[in-house]
Chain A
Amino acid sequence: MSDHARTLPGAGDGGRTPSDDTSRPANGPARHGGWPLWEVFVRPRRGLAHHHVGSLHAPDAELALRNARDLYTRRQEGVSIWVVPAAAITASSPDEKDAFFDPAADKVYRHPTFYEVPEGAPHL
């Protein structure tokens, strides 16, 4: 069974106090009124690889792509977008030792250097 990328590390850090203003974390894909979570990857026209730029909620792939285009590229032409259901992403093990792993090469979107603003974003 694949790990959802958003699964929390194990419960070793103790439970939450009930009066907290945060609810229990979602296990499995975070749903939002039936609109699951999607991760968005963008390759600007002159870029070499798709980069992870963020996430959004949408009920299906078609709307996810459209929303991603509006939100992360401001409808620039020539930009390639991938949307992937967050639930489809396999991440490394959620146990405590994960803290000591260097980011794996194929999880490059989690790497802190990886962030790029798509070219042509307004005001830049």
Chain B
Amino acid sequence: MRTTVDHLLALGDDALVAAQRLGEWVAAAPELEEDIALANIALDQLGAARMLLTYAGELEGAGRDEDALAYLRDDREFRNCLLVELPNGDFAVTMAKLLFLAAYQLPLYTALSGCADERLAAIAGKARKEVAYHLDHARLWTLRLGDGTAESHRRMQSAVDEIWPYTHELFQPDPTAPVDPAGLRAEFLAIVEPVLAEATLTRPADGWAPEGGRRGLHTEHLSYLLAEMQVLHRAHPGARW
């Protein structure tokens, strides 16, 4: 399976938008140690995004580098899943988003690290180790929030209920992709279901399954996110920073 630009953009945009949302937690986390942890995770995701976007630009061959792709594409050209562009909400929502994203990225990067595209395999190999850490972090917090106080349980259940529908898009079949995401759902469930159970949380039923991100059909949230992310870069066309 040849890696296409769109596939790389999907991977890179997931990471980029995830990093952008995590960056919003700076100086606002529940504890200083968590400020550091979230910034660490954001840096990891941003690092993976940069490598993936750089590769995408080279593969495209139109002279676009990581910044041109990050700052000069419009919403309809972004290929991230809807889950990552959702607002941070409270800390429980952020952890639910991180849990589900990492539980998807881990088997994905694991499979990609064995794919035929050597460069993508190398990127995936590095990202895989980092994402294992992100997953563990989200797991630790899901347990503590789910099985902490009555209030934290209520918030965490509400977060899980809110975010769950957005997980289905992650596993939309794509036989042309280097790794078909449809094949990853079983592993995803094998990771998250025990965590939810141990956290005394109810795993939501499958039902509504919003999607469209891989085709550039996003939620209304992405436009605001990109406006903030891109405004300064776009205000100075051609400038170096």
Contacts and interface: CB of A to CB of B under 8 A. Distances in A.
Interface of A: 35, 56-59, 62-63, 66-67, 70-71, 75
Contacts of A71: 33, 36
The B contact surface, by secondary structure, is helix
A20 B144 CA distance: 37
A67 B133 contact: no
Given A59-B144, A62-B140, A63-B140, A70 B40 contact: yes
B133 A58 contact: no
Contacts of B136: 66
A70 B140 contact: no
Contact of A56 (B33, B40, B137, B140): B33
Interface residues of B, number: 10
B31 interface: yes
A66 B31 contact: no
Contacts of B137: 66
Given A66-B137, A75-B40, A58 B144 contact: no
B37 interface: yes
Nearest to A35: B31
B37 A70 contact: yes
Contacts of B36: 67, 70-71
Most buried by B among A35, A57, A70: A70
B52 to A, nearest CB: 21
B140 A66 contact: yes
B33 A75 contact: no
Contacts of B133: 75
16 contacts: A35-B31, A56-B33, A57-B31, A57-B33, A58-B33, A63-B140, A66-B37, A66-B140, A67-B33, A67-B36, A67-B37, A70-B33, A70-B37, A70-B40, A71-B33, A75-B133
A62 B140 CA distance: 8
Nearest to B36: A70
A67 B33 CA distance: 6
A71 B40 CA distance: 10
Nearest to B33: A67
A106 B140 CA distance: 34
**List of 4 A-B pairs having minimum Cβ-Cβ separation, nearest first:** A67-B33, A70-B36, A70-B37, A70-B40
Contacts of A58: 33
B147 to A, nearest CB: 12
Contacts of A56: 33
Nearest to A67: B33
Contacts of A66: 37, 136-137, 140
Contacts of B31: 35, 57
A72 to B, nearest CB: 11
A10 to B, nearest CB: 33
Contacts of A67: 33, 36-37
Contacts of A59: 144
